[in-house]
């Protein structure tokens, strides 16, 4: 019953230093409620269940610490250097007896109750955060001074311990302990005297009476020489299995480390806590207990999962990191920049132009429209061909297409070729003609014209390998393929050449005849002309090869071998005179010609047949000689 001594500061210093952790910290037990009767019995504390006494005081010790003015206070000495102790976490204070643990908690109800019942001249305040800085104070209690109470410290038995009726924290061994042993730590039975545990957990006598897994040596000292794979215990009286590094587990056989329930072995041979499914975004600190990383909190739906904390939540997204929303599959960040950090919109990969994407790859079009290749288009029946249905039942042709005049529904559009394709082709695409075999588009895109592989000279290809002369031209008879045309001068050209339609060009040594208005006659530059030669200038006649000038200045033919019964009419060309013909001898010699022949005789002159000896002329048949 030392409440008044605690409040007044008269509690012995050595006791206060053991109980108080910081000048600004108060500890209040949650196991029982307290009341203070200042006028009765020297201010002893009493629990609701009856007189408290020291036994109740041991179960949950109340320590009230009053802070200095201002509500701040220094960091608690001996527990944490700069930060307050973690609120709600059960801690083991090495300064307290074994089995006693403490935890700290903010509790405004308890603190205000203390002011009312303890009657201290102090203002109750609670810590606003866990940074060690004092928070705003609650309204002061009447008559209270400017002092602060901020934390509640609760002392309880640690896990694996229970409080006895005498107020002590004793270890628990749920399975009980075999005969000859006591429970000395949670789940740990220690044999009495010189007995030790065997592999079955029973307390057995040691050497010299027994030496399991070894040979008992040393006489009465009871020392065991262990078999291979076993090591002697600390007292040397028992051989226990040996495992290299079996922390947190039991070595049940040589090299076999068996972890306790709720623990598993890691790669280093240690037994560490096991959490089913792992600890996403956290650490497994106890069997099936995850401690979340900063910025994460335990999931409400999934065990052993710590979810990232995103202020405001995530829409169509998952909080994958503190303050980071990651869109679910099929969603993309909102186009609204103010919400893009937390809201995701459905994504229609194929497009949703003119409609609304209400779910991933789900596009809903307005009434009267249907989705076609990611675009909501007006519905036309029959559907548009080479056009778009921009209004219900009305097709709009694509660029380069026009309505088909033969389609009464107006739904079909046909390609447009501005210059047409001719009789031998059809328009298959905008500005593109498809021609029949032997025909091709003019200039690659015009009407279909015939294909002439050899080309046409002064003519048009009007069909496959068919050239039609242009106006003013005619077919060249010398061209074998019939694909060349030459200029046409219908009235001919005298001493000139037709080099362009209807126009004669005089040859060298000739000029146009001024008396011919049609311009088709050319006259020689020489007065009497220049037969068999070329008039090079006025009265300058140059004979052609095979001709020579006569004394009269004319070009006459020259026959080097001479002509017999013939005239020289060309270079080395003899032309037989009348009544003569070429013989079988030299080409420049002509022989008399007898029209009826001269059988059995000799034609010695034109139409003169002389009979050979022994023959005479036949009077009945002219030109024949008959025997005498």
* CA 241 and chain centroid, separation: 59
16: buried, middle or exposed (CB in 10 Å: 19+, 13-18, 0-12)?
Answer: middle
Helix (H) and strand (E) counts for the chain? 4, 57
Delimit the domains of the chain by residue range.
1-172, 380-415, 594-628
In this prediction, residue 401 carries a pLDDT of 94
How confident is the model over 568-598, as pLDDT tens digits? 888 888 999 999 998 888 888 999 998 878 8
How confident is the model over 422-447, as pLDDT tens digits? 888 899 899 889 998 888 888 777 78
Quote the CA–CA distance of 143 and 119 in Å, as a whole number: 9
Least confident of 28-37, 266-275, 379-388: 28-37
Query: What percentage of the chain exceeds 70 in pLDDT?
Result: 75
Quote the CA–CA distance of 206 and 45 in Å, as a whole number: 53
- How far is the CA of 351 from the CAs of 317, 373, 387, in angstroms? 21, 7, 20
Quote the CA–CA distance of 232 and 226 in Å, as a whole number: 6
In this prediction, residue 237 carries a pLDDT of 67
How confident is the model over 36-87, as pLDDT tens digits? 222 223 333 333 333 333 333 333 333 333 233 333 333 333 333 344 566 6
Q: Write the DSSP symbol of residue 410.
A: S
Least confident of 115-124, 139-148, 403-412: 115-124
**Residues with Cβ within 8 Å of residue 408, at least 6 apart in sequence:** none
- Per DSSP, helices labelled H in 98-212 are 108-118
């Amino acid at each position: 019953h030392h409440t008044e001594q605690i409040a007044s500061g008269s509690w012995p210093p050595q006791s206060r230093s053991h109980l108080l952790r910081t000048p600004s910290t108060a500890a209040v037990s949650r196991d029982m409620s307290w009341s203070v009767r200042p006028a009765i019995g020297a201010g002893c504390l009493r629990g609701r269940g009856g007189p408290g006494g020291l036994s109740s005081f041991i179960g949950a010790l109340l320590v009230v610490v009053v802070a200095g003015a201002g509500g701040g206070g220094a960091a608690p000495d001996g527990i944490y250097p700069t930060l307050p102790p973690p609120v709600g976490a059960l801690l083991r204070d090495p300064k307290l007896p074994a089995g006693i643990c403490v935890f700290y908690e903010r509790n405004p109800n308890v603190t205000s109750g203390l002011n009312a019942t303890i009657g201290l001249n102090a203002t109750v305040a609670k810590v606003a955060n866990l940074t060690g800085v004092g928070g705003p104070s609650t309204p002061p209690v009447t008559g209270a001074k400017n002092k602060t109470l901020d934390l509640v410290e609760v002392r309880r038995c640690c896990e694996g311990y229970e409080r006895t009726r005498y107020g002590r924290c004793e270890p628990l061994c749920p399975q009980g302990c075999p005969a000859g042993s006591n429970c000395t730590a949670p789940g740990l039975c220690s044999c009495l005297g010189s007995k030790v545990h065997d592999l079955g957990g029973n307390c057995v006598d040691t050497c010299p009476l027994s030496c399991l897994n070894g040979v008992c040596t040393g006489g009465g000292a009871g020392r065991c020489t262990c078999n291979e794979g076993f090591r002697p215990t600390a007292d040397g009286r028992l051989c226990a299995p040996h495992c290299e590094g079996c922390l947190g587990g039991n070595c049940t056989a040589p090299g076999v480390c068996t972890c306790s329930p709720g623990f598993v072995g890691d790669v280093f041979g240690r037994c560490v806590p096991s959490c089913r499914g792992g600890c996403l975004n956290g650490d497994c600190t106890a069997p099936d207990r995850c401690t979340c990383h900063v910025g994460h909190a335990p999931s409400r739906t999934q065990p052993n999962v710590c979810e990232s904390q995103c202020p405001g939540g995530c829409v169509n997204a998952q909080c994958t990191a503190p303050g980071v929303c990651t869109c679910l599959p099929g969603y993309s960040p909102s186009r609204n920049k103010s919400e893009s950090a937390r809201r995701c919109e459905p994504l229609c990969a194929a497009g949703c132009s003119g409609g609304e994407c209400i779910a991933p790859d789900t596009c809903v079009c307005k009434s009267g429209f249907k989705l076609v290749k990611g675009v909501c288009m007006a519905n036309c029946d029959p559907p548009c061909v080479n056009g778009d249905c921009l209004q219900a039942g009305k097709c709009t042709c694509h660029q380069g297409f026009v309505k088909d005049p033969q389609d009464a529904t107006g739904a079909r559009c046909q390609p447009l070729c501005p210059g047409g394709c001719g009789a031998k082709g059809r328009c298959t695409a905008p500005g593109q003609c498809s021609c029949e075999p032997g025909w091709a588009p003019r200039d690659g895109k015009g009407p279909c014209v015939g294909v002439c592989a050899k080309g046409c000279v002064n003519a048009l290809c009007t069909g496959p390998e068919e050239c039609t002369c242009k106006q003013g031209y005619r077919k060249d008879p010398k061209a074998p393929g019939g694909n060349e045309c030459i200029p046409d001068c219908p009235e001919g050209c005298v001493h000139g050449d037709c080099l362009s339609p209807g126009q004669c060009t005089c040859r060298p040594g000739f000029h146009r005849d001024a008396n011919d208005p049609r311009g088709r006659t050319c006259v020689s530059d020489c007065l009497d002309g220049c037969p068999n030669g070329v008039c090079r200038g006025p009265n300058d006649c140059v004979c052609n090869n095979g001709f020579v000038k006569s004394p009269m200045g004319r070009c006459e033919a020259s026959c080097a071998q001479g002509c017999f019964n013939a005239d020289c009419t060309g270079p080395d060309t003899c032309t037989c005179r009348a009544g003569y013909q070429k013989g079988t001898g030299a080409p420049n010699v002509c022989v008399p010609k007898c029209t009826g022949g001269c059988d059995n005789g000799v034609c010695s002159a034109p139409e003169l047949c002389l009979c050979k000896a022994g023959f005479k002329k036949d009077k009945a048949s002219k030109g024949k000689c008959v025997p005498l």
